[in-house]
Chains A and B, each alone.
Chain A
Amino acid sequence: DAKTTQPTSMDCAEGRAANLPCNHSTISGNEYVYWYRQIHSQGPQYIIHGLKNNETNEMASLIITEDRKSSTLILPHATLRDTAVYYCIVRGVSAGGTSYGKLTFGQGTILTVHP
């Protein structure tokens, strides 16, 4: 699996957009970019994933560069409850659309949303 690089920590003011970057320069053509977050003492929560097109759901937007070597997770209006560790993970997906194989977690980005 392609290795990812994320900043160790970031701060964001409540109500502002939080933009979390991720570098994955060794990503291969069939690998997706996944984002998860982990709030303290809880299991990770799926946020969003994408292959090459930008994606948006009720939680966030994912912007993937044209060369797919980096991406940005955007939380449009951060709240205090968005304070968590955010993990960017690159992984392949089966033909049926279900993730397969193991997920390898890096250190992630600690996002702190302050009032």
Chain B
Amino acid sequence: GAVVSQHPSRVICKSGTSVKIECRSLDFQATTMFWYRQFPKQSLMLMATSNEGSKATYEQGVEKDKFLINHASLTLSTLTVTSAHPEDSSFYICSATSAPGYTFGSGTRLTVV
């Protein structure tokens, strides 16, 4: 089946620094990828839709200048959390459209100290 590889699985960074999270489709091409954020004991909240070769579409309330998304190829999308603050600490998950259902990465646990 389709596999989406997400790295890193865990990252700790200092407040004010930037962190990049990678999401790769390993055996299929993903024209569209999605980025979610999940706080403890809450459901997944969609942050943005990433389209290969074009600008990402952000959900209402998500700061596009803080959460930079790049989808430069059909197999790679990246999310960069810029000037991270403790409130950005969360579980970030990517997914890609695939048959029969969407395939999700394993998630990245970001802790900002």
Contacting residues, chain A, for B6 (C-beta < 8 A): 43
Q: A44-B93, A102-B49, A103-B95 are in contact. Are A34 and B109 (CB under 8 A)?
A: no
Cα distance, A41 to B102, chains bound together (Å): 18
**B residues bordering A, Cβ < 8 Å?**
4, 6, 32, 34, 36, 43-46, 49, 91, 93, 95, 97-107, 109
Contacting residues, chain B, for A38 (C-beta < 8 A): 44
Chain B's interface: helix, strand, loop or mixed, by majority? strand
Task: Please tell me if the beta carbons of B46 and A104 are within 8 angstroms of each other in the complex.
Answer: yes
Cβ < 8 Å to B, chain A residues 99-114? 99-100, 102-108
A87 CB, min distance to chain B CBs, angstroms: 8
Cβ-defined partner of A43 (8 Å) among B97, B100, B106: B106
Cα distance, A87 to B101, chains bound together (Å): 13
Cα distance, A33 to B25, chains bound together (Å): 24
Task: Please tell me if the beta carbons of B106 and A42 are within 8 angstroms of each other in the complex.
Answer: yes
Task: Please tell me if the beta carbons of A103 and B34 are within 8 angstroms of each other in the complex.
Answer: yes
Cβ of A68 < 8 Å from any Cβ of B? no
Q: Number of residues in A with C-beta < 8 Å to the partner?
A: 23
Can you spell out 17 A-B residue pairs with CB atoms less than 8 angstroms apart? A36-B101, A41-B91, A41-B109, A42-B107, A43-B4, A43-B95, A43-B106, A43-B107, A45-B104, A49-B100, A96-B99, A97-B100, A99-B97, A99-B99, A103-B102, A105-B36, A108-B43
Task: Please tell me if the beta carbons of A44 and B44 are within 8 angstroms of each other in the complex.
Answer: yes
A46 CB, min distance to chain B CBs, angstroms: 4
Q: A43-B6, A97-B100, A100-B97 are in contact. Are A105 and B109 (CB under 8 A)?
A: no
A22 CB, min distance to chain B CBs, angstroms: 14
Chain A's interface: helix, strand, loop or mixed, by majority? loop
Cα distance, A87 to B45, chains bound together (Å): 13
Cα distance, A98 to B99, chains bound together (Å): 5
Task: Please tell me if the beta carbons of A43 and B101 are within 8 angstroms of each other in the complex.
Answer: no
